[in-house]
Amino acid sequence: MRTLLSKVQASNVIAEPFPHIVIKDALDEELCAKLMAEYPSIDTLKQSRDNQLTTTSSNVRFHYIAEDIFNDDQISSTWKEFIQLHSSNLFFQQFIELFKDHILQLYPNFEQDYGSLESLTSGVRKIDTFENSDVLLDALICVNTPVTTRPTSVRAAHIDFSDKLFAGLFYLRDPKDNSTGGDLELYKFKNGKPQGFRSNALPDYAVEFCKKIKYERNVFVLFLNSVYAVHGVTTRSITDYPRYFVNLVGEVKKPLFDNSKYQEANHIKYWRKVKQLISTAK
């Protein structure tokens, strides 16, 4: 089995609006079809203690982390091999080779803070720790449940947490799914500088749409995380079909950036008031 990055070259990395790759037909058709046929059920994915929700409702996310996958006999051997490969040091080294120049451009002090790119070691999140690994990887089998009430977006424009070095999305859309939406959108800040954050979310006035990546079968997207890596998911129409994808992440020990200084003024006032009320209640 080859990784999703096996046929990717550094020249495939797109710099704008932030460093990313989009690979169509990322896996050979036989493997892609096998993964689809053996995709775990929503009930299986709901079992993970890592999920924030436990009840199934319209257009919500459930996921199974690598630790869960390795310990569950219900998960097929093909899926276990795929997840093991994409949380391995081989995959991490392929990522580094592709994105090293962009990492150093975005984070000039990266090697001083985290170590030489050539010598970084990786482990698996919640199995290994930062005591023996520089970066912790995970490969999560995910689903967004069917949209049963009204068209909604899973998540609008936002950035990922600052301890994420990269994030990847491998789409496995059901061929019979004729719904609309669920596409990935990439944005940039309207004035070129970070602004208007509401925690990690961003309002429409602060960002400008740049690119849409369709939610399609056998498409892989991976991007370098930063304060500029603004992305969101388009509104899904009502549908009986789940949205199937694998989420790949790499975490570092300490935050790569700080977006607190770019928070919207009203948002800062709101959270100060909340903290004050909590303090008073105590």
Amino acid at 205: Y
Kind plus residue range of the DSSP H or E element containing 223: strand 219-224
Domains of the chain: 10-281 (2.60.120)
pLDDT the model gives residue 118: 93
| H helical segments located in 107-193 | 110-114
pLDDT the model gives residue 280: 57
d(CA 266, CA 272): 10
Six-digit token pair at 197? 């954050």
Contact between 101 and 159 under an 8 Å Cβ cutoff? The reply is: no
Peptide bond into 17 cis (omega under 30): yes
pLDDT the model gives residue 164: 98
d(CA 199, CA 263): 7
d(CA 282, CA 280): 5
Using CB atoms within 10 A of its CB, is residue 128 exposed (0-12), middle (13-18) or buried (19+)? Answer: middle
Contact between 228 and 193 under an 8 Å Cβ cutoff? The reply is: no
| H helical segments located in 221-261 | none
pLDDT the model gives residue 273: 53
- Residue 278's φ and ψ, nearest 5 degrees, are -65, -45
Buried b (16+ CB within 10 A) or exposed e, 114-125: beebeebebbbb
pLDDT the model gives residue 254: 95
Contact between 245 and 142 under an 8 Å Cβ cutoff? The reply is: yes
pLDDT the model gives residue 50: 72
Q: Which of 118, 66, 63 is nearest to 87 (CA)?
A: 66
135-144 and 122-124 beta bridge pairing? parallel
Six-digit token pair at 238? 């009502």
Amino acid at 19: P
R_g of the chain, CA atoms, integer Å: 19
Rounded mean pLDDT for each run of 10 residues along the chain, 282 residues in total? 93 96 96 97 82 73 94 95 98 97 96 95 96 97 94 93 98 96 97 93 96 98 98 96 97 95 74 54 54
pLDDT the model gives residue 217: 97
pLDDT the model gives residue 274: 47
The predicted model scores a pTM of 0.91
Contact between 105 and 17 under an 8 Å Cβ cutoff? The reply is: no
Using CB atoms within 10 A of its CB, is residue 177 exposed (0-12), middle (13-18) or buried (19+)? Answer: middle
